[in-house]
Structures are given as C-alpha cells and as structure tokens.
Structure 1
C-alpha cells in the first residue's frame, strides 16, 4: 500500500501535475514565475503588443496585484514592455513602481476564492470586473478592448498556481 502511494506520488511529481514546492500565491517568487509564464504565452505576448505601447513614454507599464486577505502591503508587480513588437514581461517580483499612473498601469485584487475561479477560467475578466469579484484600478476602456488576452492573463494566475494557505 505504501509503495503504491509512493509510486503514484513520484509519477505525479515527474509529470508536473503536483509541485514538490509551491511558492506562496502572489509572493515575489510567484511573480517571477508568472513573468516567465507570461513570456511563454503567445496570446499575451502577441495580442497585447499594442496594449503594451500605452506606457506614457516610460518604456513599461505595470500590473500590481494582491490577495484581499493579505492586504495592499503584500502586492507584487509584473512590468510589461513592448519589445520587438511583443508585450514582454521584463520583471516579476516586489513592487518597484511606487507611484503607478492608473492611466497606463493596473492594480488588481480579489479574494482567494475569486482568484481561484479566475485562474481556472470559470470566471471571465469582464464578468469578474462587473460583479466586483476582481477589484480593478487602471484604464478601464483600454482593459475592455483586450478582454480576450486579459482572460488568458487571469488563467495564467491559476496555471502558475501557488500555496494560498499563507500570505507572502
């Protein structure tokens, strides 16, 4: 019995279906993984290329996010730049943009339950924003124009996963 369980666990770890060590959801290390996942997504890099150009001449825009139960002080940041016609995540980690411009930058937060729903793709971007499942600051009209890729971003939060039992 123990051998069977150990074999099953080893198989899950080998296939990547279960992480040996999950980062805390929305921690600095998690944000680094999310940045890497962004760059592997052709939906995000290609379909948000024009979106990434709206950076107020700074060369980047930021997406800051946090979990409601962990509070505003726990937010992390993804920095997105238009590089060679693609929206590339150049940084994921602790907040570096201490003065976001919500004409180009974004702040998002939600309950763990709602992050899970969005991460599974069960709650879509527009509905989550309209129902208050996803609290949002930033250029709303711009966001409405990129709902398809934004759904992919929300699903990315689930694909990166993470431990929600503790705050970062």
Structure 2
C-alpha cells in the first residue's frame, strides 16, 4: 500500500458509480466542515509500510476522491473520518463488510452507524482495495 497505489485506488474510486453516486449525499457531507472525509488504509502485516490516505470530497453532486497518497492528515476525527486495517490475507479474502468486521478480518475506526447505513458502497470500496494491483514486498 504505497502512495502510488493509493493514487490508483483514488482513480478506481472515481471510476466507480457505486462510490461516487451512492455516497454523494449525507455520507460525503459529514466531514466536519473541512470539505472532505479522510479514509486511512493500511496492511497490518506490513509493519514498516506506513498507511495511506484518501480524501473524499463532494464535487458536482458526487463523492469524488480528490487525493490518494501518503498521510497528510495525522489526527483523524472518528465522527466523520475512517481508519481501516487488515492483514494482507484479510484484504484479499474480505467478503462482506459486516462479516469481515464480525470475524476480525477488518479493523475499523470511524462513524459506525454511518458505515452501517452505507454497507453496499462500503463493500464496493473493500473490493477496490483488493482489486487495485499492488506489489507485496518480500519478507
């Protein structure tokens, strides 16, 4: 999960009607007045690889990824920002978000009720994390 990979994830987000359209309402607008939500993503197996971030902003009636890369916002507000982490195996075998969280394959901090109300789009995001090509360094 490099900054370059995060940029590819950001592009994939913007190419997903499920994410750009279904999260365009109250979800993307719940951003604490800063104009964007932060989604921090990491692989807990990669101890020396820092997390990456996406910034999702309302634009043209859609929820658009405006940034994908290295950490820019170090202090997240879990009333509207998200932090997600899983093992490499967990990311690739996630299944549904609810099942993944129940069985500990996905760790999550953020507005839980908001996430529960958006399980469909959240599932599409988890699929992107798995589907955007990444290189796993040799251990």
Common fold: TM-score over 0.5: yes
CA contact (8 A) 1:28 1:94 kept: yes
Cα distance in 1 for partners of 2:113, 2:87 equals: 24
Q: Larger Rg: 1 or 2?
A: 1
- State the Cα deviation string for residues 29-70 of structure 1 (Å, max 9, x = none): 000000001000000000011211100111001100110112
Cα distance in 2 for partners of 1:115, 1:156 equals: 10
How far has the Cα of 1:163 moved from its partner? 1.5
TM-score (norm: length of structure 2): 0.94
TM-score (norm: length of structure 1): 0.79
Cα distance in 2 for partners of 1:73, 1:161 equals: 16
CA contact (8 A) 1:129 1:135 kept: yes
Correspondent of 2:83 among 107, 110, 120? 107
Correspondent of 1:154 among 126, 129, 133? 126
Correspondent of 1:93 among 63, 69, 94? 69
Alpha carbons of 1:163 and 1:104: their partners in 2 closer, same or farther (altered >3 Å)? same
- State the Cα deviation string for residues 85-118 of structure 1 (Å, max 9, x = none): 1000000000111111010000000011110112
2:59 corresponds to 1:59? no
2:54 corresponds to 1:78? yes
Q: Kindly tell me the number of residue pairs found equivalent between the two proteins.
A: 138
Match of 2:102 in 1: 130
Alpha carbons of 1:72 and 1:103: their partners in 2 closer, same or farther (altered >3 Å)? farther
Cα distance in 2 for partners of 1:72, 1:82 equals: 33
Q: Which runs of 5+ in 1 are unaligned?
A: 1-25
Match of 2:9 in 1: 34
Match of 1:22 in 2: none
Cα distance in 1 for partners of 2:120, 2:75 equals: 28
Q: Which runs of 5+ in 2 are unaligned?
A: none
2:15 corresponds to 1:43? no
RMSD of Structure 2 on Structure 1 (CA): 1.4
